[in-house]
């Protein structure tokens, strides 16, 4: 239904601004190690991976610069870069993700370019048709038109668990990157200057975060689109004291920072971002004797918004759709694509439609699968009255993270949902922002006109229609 209050108030800005960049095809993603640890919580971090080589190279534990630890090991008389690379490959290739829901949500975003410093193949698993770039020369491959590409700027493992390209591991690798990977660095710089980039799965303890810091600081004077990053707050006190200074440094450089406590919070955040970048589709649910006036008012109001309606042609779905169709005709703006009425394909004749409105779609899917698919493709669900079927549709929306706006004044399921949510109003958000208590109260009032006006304001917020 309505989500839990976000960790940081800038979540709404991230959803609105980066969501707009995605919809205008002006966005890119940059994925860090935190996303991999969400997918495979037991995967070793760099501290664990480098530990045996730190010991063999007699490198002090208080040296926190992990690429420098790797550098010192390689330079040590007992050091061997090949041993280091084989160890990292063996450890990481043995990891099997327990879930890829976060990566699947990344794949659901209509973004053509995904950068990563991760070596694993989790992104390839959810984007099997994407071009995978691991070497500088891969960027020059123009033989095939790729819709999407994954750019693994620090190298990566192939399907056999072997290195597809020599990985960036040591301090020297980082410092000479522009010379050894000129195309890759030029492409990343061009992306940073021309697209809005969302950096995910990073913390200031991550050695790869210097890629972000370097881009932000060196390109500050050149301007460009706003960028976003989601940073996990540090665990220890010393780093917590330094954290605000690091955040201000990034924000000054044009990178807005959303703070989280755990990388697990990325999954619901990505769910809301996926919802934000869907077409502005509203699922209409409900039925009952008291809904006629509400449906008429709601349809006329929605005709003025950039919104599409979809329903399984229940009483509320038909009522709101007919009203919206009449309003569009009166204003000489009728568009049949703004209304979709879904029916199951059956042997008997199709149902009679009392008005010619919208587009009728017949589906061979089982009704529950059809219902779930329609709700999942929507940015929000509005409830007008309703009984058991409507209650099941609300439950599906709740499970999928689709915001629900219940017009309680029409009775039925809508009233029951409104009453339930009223008890949790203090913790509810919609569209990444807090719910206006006054608007929410009007949803359940006796004044149908006020309830519909309130519903439209909340739907506008839930569906990001102002951005």
User: For residue range 69-124, what is the model confidence (pLDDT) as tens digits?
Assistant: 999 999 998 888 999 999 999 999 988 888 899 999 999 999 999 999 999 999 99
Asked whether residue 446 carries a pLDDT value surpassing 50, the answer given is: yes
Shared domain for 339 and 215, answered yes or no, is no
Q: What is the pLDDT of residues 254-308, one digit of tens each?
A: 888 998 888 889 999 999 999 999 999 999 999 998 899 999 999 999 999 999 9
Asked whether residue 467 carries a pLDDT value surpassing 90, the answer given is: no
CATH of the domain at 272: 3.40.50.1220
Asked whether residue 214 carries a pLDDT value surpassing 70, the answer given is: yes
Compute the Cα dihedral for 362, 368, 369, 372 and give only its sign: positive
Selection from 142, 138, 134, 100 nearest residue 117 by Cα: 134
Shared domain for 454 and 349, answered yes or no, is yes
CATH of the domain at 332: 3.40.50.450
Identify the domain boundary among 276, 296, 321. 276
Shared domain for 121 and 221, answered yes or no, is yes
Instruction: Count CA within 13 A, CB hemisphere, residue 277.
Output: 25
Going by pLDDT thresholds of 50, 70 and 90, the confidence category of residue 8 is very low
User: pLDDT value at position 249?
Assistant: 82
User: pLDDT value at position 10?
Assistant: 66
Lowest-pLDDT choice from 50-59, 164-173, 351-360: 351-360
User: pLDDT value at position 250?
Assistant: 82
Shared domain for 323 and 344, answered yes or no, is yes
Tell me how far apart the alpha carbons of residues 442 and 439 are, in angstroms, rounded to a whole number: 5
Q: Does 346 reside within a domain?
A: yes
User: pLDDT value at position 2?
Assistant: 46
- Note whether 310 and 378 are within 8 A (CB): yes
Q: Does 467 reside within a domain?
A: no
Residue 442 main-chain phi, psi, to 5 deg: -65, -25
Q: Which domain holds residue 77?
A: 46-93
Question: What is the arithmetic mean of pLDDT over 417-445?
Answer: 88
User: pLDDT value at position 237?
Assistant: 84
Question: What is the arithmetic mean of pLDDT over 32-37?
Answer: 90
Shared domain for 13 and 144, answered yes or no, is yes
User: pLDDT value at position 342?
Assistant: 94
Q: Starting at the edge strand that comes first in sequence, how are the strands of the sheet with 404-407 ordered?
A: 359-363, 339-344, 308-311, 281-285, 380-384, 404-407
Asked whether residue 4 carries a pLDDT value surpassing 60, the answer given is: no
Shared domain for 38 and 53, answered yes or no, is no
434: DSSP letter: E
Question: What is the arithmetic mean of pLDDT over 458-463?
Answer: 94
Q: Is 129 exposed, middle or buried (0-12, 13-18, 19+ CB in 10 A)?
A: exposed
Question: What is the arithmetic mean of pLDDT over 446-464?
Answer: 94
Asked whether residue 219 carries a pLDDT value surpassing 80, the answer given is: no
Which residues are bridge partners to 58 per DSSP? none
DSSP string, 114-172: EEE---SSHHHHH-TTSEEE-SGGGGG--SS--S-EEEETT--B-TTSSBSS----SHH
DSSP string, 218-286: HTGGG--S-EEEEEEPPSSHHHHHHHHHHHHHHHHTTEEEEEES-GGGHHHHHHHHHHHTS-SEEEEE-
User: pLDDT value at position 6?
Assistant: 33
Shared domain for 291 and 397, answered yes or no, is yes
Shared domain for 291 and 331, answered yes or no, is yes
Question: What is the arithmetic mean of pLDDT over 346-367?
Answer: 81
Number of domains in the chain: 3
Asked whether residue 7 carries a pLDDT value surpassing 80, the answer given is: no
Going by pLDDT thresholds of 50, 70 and 90, the confidence category of residue 147 is confident
Shared domain for 238 and 100, answered yes or no, is yes
Kind plus residue range of the DSSP H or E element containing 427: none
Q: Does 79 reside within a domain?
A: yes
Shared domain for 255 and 375, answered yes or no, is no
Shared domain for 220 and 293, answered yes or no, is no
Shared domain for 27 and 55, answered yes or no, is no
């Amino acid at each position: 239904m309505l989500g839990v209050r976000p960790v940081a108030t800038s979540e709404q800005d991230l959803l609105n601004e980066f969501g707009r960049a995605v919809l205008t095809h002006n966005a890119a993603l940059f994925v860090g190690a935190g996303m991999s640890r969400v997918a495979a919580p037991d995967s070793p971090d760099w501290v664990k991976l480098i530990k045996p080589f730190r010991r063999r190279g007699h490198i002090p534990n208080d040296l926190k610069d992990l690429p420098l630890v790797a550098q010192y090991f390689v330079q040590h008389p007992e050091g061997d870069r090949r041993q280091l690379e084989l160890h990292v490959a063996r450890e990481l290739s043995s990891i099997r993700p327990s879930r890829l829901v976060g990566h699947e949500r990344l794949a659901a975003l209509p973004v053509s370019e995904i950068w990563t410093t991760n070596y694993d193949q989790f992104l390839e698993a959810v984007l099997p048709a994407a071009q995978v770039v691991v070497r500088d020369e891969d960027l020059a491959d123009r033989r095939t038109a790729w819709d999407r590409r994954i750019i693994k700027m620090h190298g990566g493992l192939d399907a056999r668990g072997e290195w597809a390209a020599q990985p960036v591991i040591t301090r020297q690798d980082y410092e000479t990157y522009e010379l050894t990977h000129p195309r890759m660095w030029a492409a990343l710089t061009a992306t940073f200057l021309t697209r809005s980039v969302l950096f995910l799965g990073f913390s200031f303890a991550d050695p790869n975060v210097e890629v972000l810091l370097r881009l932000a600081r060196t390109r500050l004077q050149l301007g460009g689109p706003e960028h976003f990053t989601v940073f996990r707050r540090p665990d220890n006190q010393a780093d917590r004291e330094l954290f605000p200074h690091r955040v201000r440094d990034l924000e000054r450089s044009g990178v807005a920072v959303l703070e989280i406590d755990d990388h697990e919070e990325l999954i619901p955040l990505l769910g809301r971002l996926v919802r934000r970048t869907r077409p502005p589709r509203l699922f209409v649910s409900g039925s009952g004797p008291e809904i006629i006036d509400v449906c008429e008012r709601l349809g006329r109001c929605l005709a003025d918004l950039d919104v599409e309606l979809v329903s399984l042609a229940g009483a509320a779905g038909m009522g709101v759709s007919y009203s919206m169709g009449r309003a569009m005709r009166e204003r000489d703006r009728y568009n049949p694509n703004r209304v979709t009425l879904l029916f199951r394909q059956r042997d008997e004749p199709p149902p009679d439609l009392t008005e010619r409105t919208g587009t009728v779609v017949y589906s061979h899917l089982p009704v529950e699968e059809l219902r779930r698919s329609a709700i999942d493709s929507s940015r929000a669900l509005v409830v007008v009255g309703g009984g058991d079927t409507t209650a099941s549709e609300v439950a599906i929306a709740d499970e999928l993270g689709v915001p629900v706006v219940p017009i309680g004044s029409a009775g039925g399921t809508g009233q029951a949902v409104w009453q339930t949510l009223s008890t949790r109003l203090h913790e509810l958000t919609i569209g990444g922002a807090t719910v206006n208590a006054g608007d929410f109260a009007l949803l359940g009032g006796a004044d149908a006109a006020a309830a519909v006006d309130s519903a439209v304001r909340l739907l506008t917020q839930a569906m990001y229609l102002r951005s």
